[in-house]
Amino acid sequence: MKIVGVTACPTGIAHTYMAQEALEKKAKEMGHVCHIETQGSIGIENKLSKKEIKEADVVLLAVEVAIEGMERFEGKKIIRKSIGECIANTQGIIFDVIAEVENS
Amino acid sequence: MLTTKELISLDNHSSSKDEIITQLVELAYKQKKISDLAGFTEAIYRREAEFSTALGMSIAMPHGQSDTVREPFVIFARTEEPIQWDQNQVQLIFMIGVPLANRSDTHMKIIASLSKKLLDESFRQSLLESGIDDALRLMQL
């Protein structure tokens, strides 16, 4: 499955980046393609390309604050999860996302 | 450098979240990293109130973004015994302070990469076992 997503935490200092790393690593381990954009204190990094968004099966938003560029995801399947859960229970979150996409 | 020897506390005897937060904020103040104890403490708790910074892996990362911060810093504390931090037991505590203005991307990137590295079990294990010199080296990313 192809997953794209955005992480953004209240201060954009630590968990934005921790969640990105956790999700990309775990998804890859589980055999999925996953690209996560961070919107934090350094601004937007690891920016999603139009192509990646177009090809993605699902958009995972782990955002605790308003983010930029929501219009890019118009018409896509969007799933929202808490950023804390994405770090504490990364594998469970990915299972959930996949199950939700497959059942929709 | 975000972490210096003076900002590392190994074999810390704190037994609660509140106790160690108080202690580490005082350390930041003594080391002249913050200008106001109460103001920075409030920033830390305001962030904790959003969602706990203890998310498993024996780690808590209390952080405050405040104009009471003179320069960005990361304090590393390791408690002698695991302590309860909201829903989790923690032993490795990283207290991060960043000012609201005049902060460089370089510092923010170092903090981001520390956050990512903490997902690595062998890195955490090294931090659990290290003496002061190794701890300092591990914290220099």
Domain ranges of chain B: 5-139
Q: State the Cα–Cα distance between residues B34 and B27, nearest whole angstrom.
A: 9
Asked if the Cβ–Cβ distance from A42 to B105 is below 8 Å, we say yes
Q: What is the least distance, in Å, from the CA of B131 to any CA of chain A? A: 25
Instruction: Quote the domain boundaries for residue A32.
Output: 2-102
pLDDT interval class at B4 (50, 70, 90): very high
Whether residues A42 and B103 touch (CB distance < 8 A) is answered with no
The Cβ of residue B111 has, within 10 Å, a number of other Cβ atoms equal to 25
Torsion A1-A42-B21-B8 (CA) sign:
positive
Confidence of residue B47 (pLDDT cuts 50, 70, 90): very high
Query: Which residue in B40, B46, B115 has the most chain A C-beta atoms within 10 A of its own C-beta, making it the best mutation to test that interface?
Result: B115
Give the domain CATH number at A21: 3.40.50.2300
Number of domains in chain A: 1
Q: B3 in helix, strand or coil? A: coil
What is the value of ipTM here, to two decimals? 0.92
DSSP state of A100: H
What are residue B22's phi and psi, to 5 degrees? -55, -45
Residues of chain A found within 8 Å of residue B111, distances taken between Cβ atoms: 13-14
Is the pLDDT reported for residue B104 higher than 90? no
pLDDT at A6 > cutoff 90? yes
Beta strand pairing call for A58-63 and A78-80: parallel
Looking at A3, A4, A8, A9, which residue is catalytic?
A9
Q: Is B107 a catalytic residue?
A: no
- The CATH H-level superfamily of B5-139 is Mannitol-specific EII; Chain A (3.40.930.10)
Q: Which pLDDT band, with edges at 50, 70 and 90, does B121 fall under?
A: very high
